[in-house]
A = this chain, B = another copy of it.
């Protein structure tokens, strides 16, 4: 009963997603681009197509998907120093951009893509928790739009996408398990987990971390259930925008 009446800081129930909105064709120069908004988290995702591949893919006939991630200095409560000013990219940024690239590659058929590279730039213009998962969910649409452009130009015979892809954060805050943490919740989380899944509900990435004290296997299971629910809702939204063969 108490659980039913209890409300999160923004009035949501434990298993509520924040409003998701994806605006397509947001940047005119890019082959694919969206503004993805998940509550107050806003990320510009662009997809760039280039006819080259990294050295390790050369001559294989396969393509590549890579990602870069950054925040504007004032996306956050306190202004953060630009990584270009520091002269180097920080550890957190590296982790996130490797995650985004890896996740997207899991639903792309790199053989069908051919020897070209698609670069997803995810630039957070306003941050309120869940920037990396919102980036994945939005970047999937920017990627699909860029691929659709290649199909329409006759460069590709069909979309080399195996499935939809979305991601969400879940966590334990004050001993409650919550879906889609906002910044205020995330900063107090005891367990923090990011989950990436396909449209069919298969796992692509699970990253669960005890921030303070270790947690039992049953909580991992319950958090995965929450994430599955949230991702299913996100994929339903994506299906309104993009139709896969």
Give the interface of A toward B (CB within 8 A): 27-30, 33, 40, 44, 46, 48, 50, 68, 70, 72-77, 79, 82-92, 94-95, 97-98, 102, 106-107, 119, 121, 123, 125-127, 162-163, 193, 197-198, 200-210, 212-217, 220, 224
Contact = CB atoms under 8 A, between A and B. Distances in A.
Contacts of A68: 73, 82, 85
A121 B206 contact: no
A204 B197 contact: no
Contacts of A107: 214
A69 to B, nearest CB: 10
Contact of A106 (B29, B30, B86, B210): B210
B210 A205 contact: yes
A79 B27 CA distance: 12
A166 to B, nearest CB: 12
Contacts of A82: 68, 70, 84
Given A29-B126, A193-B206, 15 more contacts: A27-B75, A28-B126, A44-B72, A50-B79, A68-B82, A72-B123, A73-B119, A85-B89, A91-B98, A92-B94, A92-B98, A202-B214, A205-B208, A205-B209, A207-B207
A23 to B, nearest CB: 13
Given A88-B88, A95-B98, A121-B73, A206 B207 contact: yes
A70 B92 CA distance: 17
Contact of A215 (B33, B83, B203): B203
A171 to B, nearest CB: 13
A210 B204 contact: yes
A160 B140 CA distance: 45
A237 to B, nearest CB: 19
